[in-house]
Amino acid sequence: KRNELEISDVNNVYLKNGELKYQKLKGRWADAGESLAAYNKAIVFARQMIEKGGADRL
């Protein structure tokens, strides 16, 4: 093991504590876990969704 937390580990802690929140977005799903470029594309996409009314925040 790498002694690192994965985002799923963090999500599981939030779920266990009853603090996990989510929001379904209209449109497409993007994985930002591959690279900084993919992350930046996902941020641009999320901002576009907010502007179109498909989400209310990042």
Instruction: Answer yes or no: are the C-beta atoms of 42 and 30 closer than 8 Å.
Output: yes
Prediction pTM value? 0.41
Domain spans of the chain, in order of start:
7-51
The angle subtended at Cα 35 by Cα 49 and Cα 4, nearest 5°, is: 110
Residues 32, 39: contact at Cβ < 8 Å? yes
Q: HSE-up of 47 (CA within 13 Å, CB side)?
A: 6
Q: Could you tell me where the DSSP H helices lie in 1-58?
A: 7-16, 36-51
- Tens-place pLDDT, residues 7-57: 888 889 999 999 998 888 787 776 656 677 777 887 888 888 888 876 666
